Amino acid sequence: MENQAFISLGSNIGNRYDYLKNAVQRLINYPEIVLVNCSSIYETDPVGYEDQDLFLNMVIHIRTSCSAEKLLDICLKTEQELGRKRDIRWGPRTIDVDILLYNQENITTEKLIVPHPRMIERPFVIIPLLEICPEEIFYYMKKANGASLSELPNSEGVRIWKLKNGEDVFEPIGS
């Protein structure tokens, strides 16, 4: 499991918590993926298309033997299995599973850009990421996005919904 990745998850349709939980479980059911850490779960105001329900968002840190492309396939498959439809861009969704960081690599292919190009401006990504991301990775990510500290979003519109280590938040395997 030589690679490290950070993945953002979000849901704003139906039982949002079950979708998050189910998506994490599906990801870590792959023998190529091990959960290292997960953030608290946050309830967040919709960004982009604002006329939709509140989201639950979280970030997980994994170790994996998958390439970034293979990991992307797994994320997309997980979205499909959980009924994700792509009707409205930025619109409501049962589950969104995005790769934020893959090692400290800059990757640009037709299907994938890493670090995620919009992560730095999205409080619903940055706040949970800050909670669990080791400092050196975080500074790498800021540099790769060309961002300075003052450009980081504040926590407006992002509220703790379920604290990590609170009852029944999934724990890293083996802890």
List residues bridging with 8 in a β-sheet: 59, 98
Q: In whole angstroms, what is the distance from residue 58 CA to residue 106 CA?
A: 23
Under the phi-then-psi rule, with left for phi > 0, alpha for psi from -120 to 50, and beta for the rest, what region is 103?
A: left
Cα–Cα distances (Å) from 146 to 19, 116, 142, 151, in that order, read 33, 12, 6, 10
Q: Which of 6, 19, 55, 161 binds ligand GSY (CB under 6 A)?
A: 55
Q: In whole angstroms, what is the distance from residue 111 CA to residue 20 CA?
A: 23
Q: In whole angstroms, what is the distance from residue 131 CA to residue 121 CA?
A: 16
- Least CB distance to ligand GSY at residue 57 (A): 5
List residues bridging with 60 in a β-sheet: 7, 38
Catalytic residue list contains 93: yes
Q: Which of 6, 10, 58, 141 binds ligand GSY (CB under 6 A)?
A: 10
Closest to ligand GSY by CB, 44 or 78? 44
Per rule CB under 6 A, is residue 124 in the interface with ligand GSY? Answer: yes
- Binding letters toward ligand GSY, positions 87-116, x by CB under 6 A: ---x-----x--------------------
Catalytic residue list contains 159: no
Per rule CB under 6 A, is residue 46 in the interface with ligand GSY? Answer: yes
For residue 74, the SS3 value is helix
Catalytic residue list contains 98: yes
Closest to ligand GSY by CB, 32 or 121? 121
Catalytic residue list contains 84: yes
Site residues (CB under 6 A) for ligand GSY? 10, 44-48, 55, 57, 90, 96, 124
Catalytic residues: 84, 93, 96, 98
